[in-house]
Structure 1
Amino acid sequence: MSGHRGFAESNRVQNRLHHLIPGGAHTYARGSDQYPEFMAPVLKEGRGARVWDVDGNCYVEYGMGLRSVTLGHAYGPVVEAAAEAARAGHNFSRPTLLEAEVAEKFLEIVPTADMVKFAKNGSDATTAGVRLARAVTGREMVAVCRQPFFSVDDWFIGSTPMNSGIPKDVASLTERFDYNDLASLEEVFDRNPGGVACVVLEAATGTAEPNPGFLEGVRALCDDNGALLLFDEIITGFRWAAAGAQSVYGVTPDLSSWGKALGNGFPISALAGRREYMEYGGLRTDRERTFLLSTTHGPETTSLAAAGAVMDAYRNGGPVARMERVGSLLAAGFNSAADEFGLAGHLEVIGRPSCEVFVTRDADCAASQSFRTLFLQEMIGRGVLGQSFVVSAAHTDDDIAHTIEASRRAMVVYRAAIDRGSAEPFLSGRSVAPALRRHAHPRREP
């Protein structure tokens, strides 16, 4: 380990967090078990692409709020818009003009949708879309792609390993299919004739692009079988393009859920879609109404104002192009260094430039949690923090240069571990563990 940084205060506060909050964090992906033991920095502030922890350590950060921050921490125009809104009042008993203005901005940027409703979490929006699809079709089954995460709600969590507490009859109403595999989706439809309400998927992920014809095929299968198509744009929206992955690949869903970068870290999400479906949750319908979204904080003014400022930045500033440029620079420099150290088969950066991840493999070129831990350990010790290499438009060339230099130094240790055939002798504590797992072991806290 580099040994350049101390974590005494972070470790003290982390113990305090575990005493007060189940898991010690409000998101499983932010848990201390996702970082090398005794090296999970507790953060205090951030500006641009840099963050500082409670021990005073400074880091170039990646992942950026679980991909929610694309413009940089404390981005001036967003902070100022939110502060101005707060001074006029946060929440009221009737809608505000701001709700109409931000909805109009959103629908201008996402012209494939006719209506939008705001909430706070991506899970809220995606689950509302599933509920709406069930109401529209009169069906119950959901076909969901085998991709990492869609919602904290029962319909999805019941299909994961961490499904304790989910009724089996609820879990049985979700079936999985494989990305880029139309046959696996056809099989879901065949097993449930006339029973599938909607198909839920991300049009793309950071490491998986749609094969030619795949998304078009999904759209056709939905049309042929009377199911609605719901694109999860929680990550891809404002990171692939302001108008989301649907604008990049030219396939229009019936419904789409948005979040993360929509508020540059402020809590806001959205369900958008075709008017004929969205009105099921409104007052311009003679049908039985659907309880779509009804949240106290959905129209809260600071997050709406932040989202409006984010959309202004995308209209005028080209943040996606900046993310793609620095992401490409990082991948090229990192992978060149890995090749130089003879680690090309063991350590590499892959994925869309605006949404990259690093892959860690052992001496046999198999994915390895212990080698991932070793790489994280060495990078954190050298001032780079992140479970991925997901960039923001605030990352500078100097940030990328610092990261590549830190990576080169980490590769010296990684190379030694590969030569030894094990990362364990080089680790300062236990390895990281999957965020969604059935038991706290192997990172149970005392």
Structure 2
Amino acid sequence: MTPSFERSNALQARLHEVVPGGAHTFAKGSDQYPEGMAPVLVRGRGARVWDADGNEFVEYGMGMRAVTLGHGYEPVLEAVRAALVDGVSFTRPAVLELAAAEDFVAVVPGADMVKFCKNASDATSAALRLARAATGRDVVAMCQDQPYFSSQDWFIGTLPISTGVPAAVRSLVRTFRYNDLQSLQAVLEAEPVACVILEAASALAEPAPRYLEGVRALCDRYGTVLVFDETITGFRWAAGGAQAVYGVTPDLSTWGKAMGNGFSVAALAGRRELMELGGLRTDRPRAFLLSSTNGAETTGLAAFRAVVRAYTDPTAGPDPVAAMERQGQALADGVNAAAADAGIGEFLSVLGRPSCQIFRTTDAVGNPSQAMRTLFLQEILHRGVLGQSYVISAAHTDVDVEQTVEAARGATLAYRKALETGRPEELFTGRPVAPAHRLMAEPRRLGLPAVPAARTPDGDGSGPPVRPLPASRP
């Protein structure tokens, strides 16, 4: 039975009245889902969530990759409850702050010291400030092939949606390509650079042999601080992050997301001589590192300590990373087989590291297609699967994965039809889902009359020729 979203739609309309964009994160916006099919959630347990209409979904993405142990993971909740009754925020450091810091430096190879905060955007921005303080340089270099580093001006100025960022700030950022040492070397040779910031790996890009070692060597040669953004890779690739997996140690690293299993906690960590520039034991001009009222509130730190135990104590249960890798691989194999059986494996596929996968949706000539993505999202939502990706958790069971594969198998019928006709918009209502960081909003997202959507990128309904599809398997 096709689910109803009546109550969710009413709540979403109200959200647009009181919250800009109708959500507190761009990627959670209703424009990221088929029109009229953006569930407003009320609760979650394990890898499943329930919306305001009572619909139940297997969820992927898991809190923007923040929930690796599952919703309502009891050991984390137990630790948070214990912290709550003893107080949340104090005038002086709590013993819990020391215990959490010691846990952190014990699992992260490149962490001599750590400073906690509430979100990774603040951590990455503090890393840049610290690198500038250490080097006396202003320019920073970031990897242009990775989608997001911070909500602060230094990074937002590089996006299409950069309104409000001063030109002077934008002028201080240079970019280089991932897995391309020559592009990085060209940046470092051109002018003094305070730091190089990148994700050591991403869902779709593993480092080429010796690439990270080459980045490390270039930073050493040019006196540049190397920063790894471990916001996604931390506690998903390994408890110690990508630096533990690939054996290359940065000068600084930034953390968030999975380190709290959904609770708000993030961190900046790194070499002692750098971190101490923001402390009280330095003879150099002191850097303003991180200082906030809630940076070390106890619930986030208690959650973090429970997460560390889940990853490092064999008596706490199965290894979460191994569980994510195993279930993610089963999911990819199943969905890719379903697409191949339907004769559309060339156009619909699951890609990426098993613990952090996406689904690739293309049109009949192989171009990434928001319209085909919309259709696929619609079809799996109808079948009880919610997610803009296949980012998995250790809580996903065999039953969850099997339901997801069957949902994708059902979706291939509509997907194949859309490929054959070249008109996916005929199979869904409204406009295709939109890129999160686009410059202009669309009228219908704000409850205004919508402009009729073009059927194809050409805008006239004709579009490119559609190739014949191979026959589906019996």
TM-score (norm 1): 0.98
Deviations 1:317-366 (A, max 9, x none): 41000000000000001101110000111100010000000000111111
Deviations 1:111-156 (A, max 9, x none): 3210000000000101000000000000000100011000001111
Partner of 1:241: 238
| Match status 1:168 vs 2:170 | no
Partner of 2:214: 217
Are the counterparts in 2 of residues 432 and 443 from structure 1 also a CA contact under 8 Å?
no
- Gapped regions of structure 1 (runs ≥ 5): none
Partner of 1:361: 362
Q: Distance in 2 between matches of 1:184 and 1:342?
A: 39
Q: 1:48 aligns with which of 32, 46, 60?
A: 46
Partner of 1:374: 375
Q: Distance in 1 between matches of 2:5 and 2:426?
A: 21
Deviations 1:223-253 (A, max 9, x none): 1111000000000000000000011111100
Q: 1:226 aligns with which of 219, 223, 226?
A: 223
Give the C-alpha shift of residue 441 in structure 1: 2.8
Q: Distance in 2 between matches of 1:441 and 1:157?
A: 20
Give the C-alpha shift of residue 442 in structure 1: 6.9
| One-letter amino acid of the counterpart of residue 326, structure 2 | R
Partner of 1:408: 409
| One-letter amino acid of the counterpart of residue 75, structure 2 | P
Partner of 2:79: 81
| Match status 1:182 vs 2:175 | no
Q: Distance in 2 between matches of 1:419 and 1:83?
A: 55
Q: 1:306 aligns with which of 300, 303, 328?
A: 303
- Gapped regions of structure 2 (runs ≥ 5): 449-474
Are the counterparts in 1 of residues 110 and 252 from structure 2 also a CA contact under 8 Å?
no
Aligned-partner SS, 2:244: helix
| Match status 1:255 vs 2:256 | no
Aligned-partner SS, 2:50: strand
Distance 1:149 1:392, change over 3 A: same
- Identical pairs, percent: 61
1:134-145 equivalences under 5 Å are 134-145=132-143
| One-letter amino acid of the counterpart of residue 379, structure 1 | I
Aligned length: 442
Partner of 1:90: 88
Q: Distance in 2 between matches of 1:444 and 1:322?
A: 38
Q: Distance in 2 between matches of 1:422 and 1:278?
A: 56
Runs of at least 4 residues off by over 6 Å:
none
Are the counterparts in 2 of residues 433 and 442 from structure 1 also a CA contact under 8 Å?
no
Q: Distance in 1 between matches of 2:401 and 2:262?
A: 22
TM-score (norm 2): 0.92
Q: Distance in 1 between matches of 2:238 and 2:52?
A: 35
Aligned-partner SS, 2:9: helix
| One-letter amino acid of the counterpart of residue 240, structure 1 | W
Aligned-partner SS, 2:308: helix
Q: Distance in 2 between matches of 1:30 and 1:58?
A: 18
Aligned-partner SS, 2:209: coil
Are the counterparts in 1 of residues 117 and 295 from structure 2 also a CA contact under 8 Å?
yes
Q: Distance in 2 between matches of 1:362 and 1:97?
A: 56
Deviations 1:284-339 (A, max 9, x none): 11111000000110110011000000000001241000000000000001101110
Aligned-partner SS, 1:196: coil
Q: Distance in 2 between matches of 1:365 and 1:442?
A: 29
Partner of 1:5: 3
| One-letter amino acid of the counterpart of residue 331, structure 2 | L
Q: Distance in 1 between matches of 2:6 and 2:388?
A: 21
Give the C-alpha shift of residue 443 in structure 1: 5.6
Partner of 1:158: 157
Structure of greater relative contact order (alpha carbons < 8 Å, 6+ residues apart): 1
| Match status 1:27 vs 2:25 | yes
Are the counterparts in 1 of residues 234 and 258 from structure 2 also a CA contact under 8 Å?
yes
Q: 1:294 aligns with which of 286, 291, 307?
A: 291
Q: Distance in 2 between matches of 1:429 and 1:443?
A: 9
| One-letter amino acid of the counterpart of residue 194, structure 2 | A
Q: Distance in 2 between matches of 1:142 and 1:375?
A: 39
1:97-136 equivalences under 5 Å are 97-136=95-134
